[in-house]
Amino acid sequence: MKFFPAFVVVLLLTSGCLRAEEIETSFHGEPIQPIVKVDDFTLYESDDGLWNYSEQTEGKVTVIAFLFTNCLDICPIVTSNLHWMYNQLTPEEHNVTQFITITVDPWRDDAQTMSDWKLYRGTEWPHLTANSTEEDSEMYQTMMSVWYNFEVGLFIEETSANDSNASARHHPDAYNVNHSTGTVLVDKDGFQRVWWGDNDWVLDLVLADVRTLIAE
């Protein structure tokens, strides 16, 4: 009898560990552990002006990609993947799902550039940027906070002034953007739950993860 309570404790702890394991393996992408709350933000939408996160995503599963239009390799592929997944959702699933693309290069990606990118890529969801890149502006600071909240690794590399990617309109005058991030799946309560690296996409499995969150 003396050992019974200890056995119960061990059993409960073991059950808890198994349950956590089940949760962890219920997604095909990388589970975000511990889960992170998305801080509310307002950025500039390429077509419609100010766009507020909490207003537009309340009660929805949100798919968030961090890209930039001057990226010529992986970003078009990720956008194509997102577009495919967007088209697989049923009307009912669309009602509880929100897609967002957020730039990591607001110096180049102003509202017009993002709008042109949307048109060229045939995408329908919001593409967000900052309407000011002055470092002391509220919008720029918001953009920085969003990158921090989603742990976007961003490195601005200065390049030769004659580099084809350079433009004298930006600061620094000539630069490339290197970023390490992926696509983040956010649940209906606004918590970051699943991460898919840009090079790790398996289309059917990302879609399955979105549908798992929809079903919660």
- Is residue 61 a contact partner of residue 27, using CB atoms and an 8 Å limit? no
User: pLDDT class for 153, splitting at 50, 70, 90?
Assistant: low
Could you report the per-residue pLDDT of 84-108, keeping only the tens digit for each? 999 999 999 999 999 999 998 898 8
- Is residue 154 a contact partner of residue 104, using CB atoms and an 8 Å limit? yes
- Considering the four listed CATH numbers 3.90.105.10, 3.40.190.10, 3.40.30.10, 1.10.8.60, the one that applies to the domain covering 29-215 is 3.40.30.10
For position 112, what pLDDT does the model report? Answer: 93
Q: Looking at the chain, which runs of residues are DSSP E strands?
A: 30-37, 42-45, 49-52, 61-67, 97-103, 127-129, 153-158, 175-180, 182-186, 191-197
Residue 182: count of CB within 10 angstroms of its CB: 21
User: pLDDT class for 150, splitting at 50, 70, 90?
Assistant: very high
Q: Between 167 and 52, where is the model more confident? A: 52
Q: Between 197 and 177, where is the model more confident? A: 197
Confidence check: pLDDT of 4 > 60: no
For position 9, what pLDDT does the model report? Answer: 35
Q: How confident is the model over 126-141, as a mean pLDDT?
A: 94
Could you report the per-residue pLDDT of 41-70, keeping only the tens digit for each? 999 998 889 999 999 999 999 999 998 888
Q: How confident is the model over 26-38, as a mean pLDDT?
A: 95
For position 113, what pLDDT does the model report? Answer: 94
Residue 58: count of CB within 10 angstroms of its CB: 11
